[in-house]
Amino acid sequence: MIKAIVTDIEGTTSSISFVKEVLFPYAQTHIAEFVRQHQDEAQVKTLLQDVRDTVAAQLTLDQVIAQLLTWIDEDKKVTPLKALQGLIWEEGYHLGAFVGHIYPDVIDNLRAWKASGIDLYVYSSGSVHAQKLLFGHTGHGDLTPLFSGYFDTRIGAKQESVAYSQIAGQIGSSPTNILFLSDIKAELDAARSAGFQTLWLIREGLIDPSAEHRQVADFDQIGDLNG
Ligand SMILES: CSCCC(=O)C(=O)COP(=O)(O)O
Ligand SMILES: [Mg+2]
């Protein structure tokens, strides 16, 4: 019996190209100016300190910015970078520079699952703030009322099973009653190790019926979860 669904974003609810060709370049373009402008504000100050704590205490502001740009290039899921990206994307959403991409098959299925009593959660490397912005500013309106909670790297890395145990604890459900959706096998392996049920989204490419996790091309193929 599925009582809760936890979904990944990039490659699962939303296209990889939206994240890699729209969101990441926007952060890349604006991060230096954003950091310089907001460096004395408490939230940004703490995040810049987190970068120094991760790399080296004596980094100058220019060196911190250079490190952040390197992490963006390398798609590193480092918590202070992900938090800063969220703050920068907030400006982008509010200026109308982009809207959050959601695959059309996602919306009706999320609504149907929620209507059937299944609680919906998000787990992404993007910060919780960035997740709420994306689902709050989609081409299909504000989808945040569908979700009961959000998790990011502050609860743990997505390829570590302990993160999923923590999530199950916070949801307050047995892991066996939680379904995790992702496009990344290592994340699905970690979730399964924690006892979750899993589904592998293959948005582009061929479905392999013999794969270790059941593969689907989109949310429509998932079908009736508790039927
Ligand atoms: C919250 S939208 C931006 C997604 C993001 O920053 C990212 O790194 C993608 O991570 P995911 O865990 O959703 O694959
Ligand atoms: Mg993903």
Q: What is the pLDDT of residues 154-206, one digit of tens each?
A: 999 999 999 999 999 999 999 999 999 999 999 999 999 999 999 999 999 99
Question: Is pLDDT at 227 greater than 80 in this prediction?
Answer: no
- What one-character DSSP code corresponds to residue 220? G
Question: Is pLDDT at 223 greater than 90 in this prediction?
Answer: no
Q: What is the pLDDT of residue 131?
A: 98
- Residue 145 belongs to a domain with what CATH number? 3.40.50.1000
Closest ligand 1 atom to Cα of 9: 13
- Ligand 1 binding pocket mutation candidate from 7, 23, 124 (most atoms within 8 A of CB): 124
Return the residue whose CA atom lies nearest to atom 4 of ligand 1: 126
Q: Quick one: 70 and 35 in the same domain?
A: yes
Number of domains in the chain: 2
Q: Quick one: 183 and 141 in the same domain?
A: yes
Q: Quick one: 26 and 45 in the same domain?
A: yes
Query: What are 73-82's pLDDT values in tens digits?
Result: 999 999 999 9
Q: Quick one: 131 and 60 in the same domain?
A: no
126 lines ligand 1 (CB under 6 A): yes
Tokens for 55, please give them. 């790399």
Q: Which of 62, 95, 128 is the last residue of a domain?
A: 95
Its pTM stands at 0.96
Among all ligands shown, which has an atom nearest to the Cα of 22? 1
Q: How far apart are the first and last CA of the chain?
A: 9
Q: Quick one: 145 and 63 in the same domain?
A: no
Query: What are 95-153's pLDDT values in tens digits?
Result: 999 999 999 999 999 999 999 999 999 999 999 999 999 999 999 999 999 999 999 99
**Three-class SS string for 101-116?**
CCCHHHHHHHHHHHHC
Closest ligand 1 atom to Cα of 23: 3
Domain that holds residue 104: 4-16+100-222
- Residue 45 belongs to a domain with what CATH number? 1.10.720.60
- Give the phi and the psi of residue 126 in degrees, each rounded to 5: -65, 145
The rounded distance, in Å, linking the Cα atoms of 226 and 7 is: 17
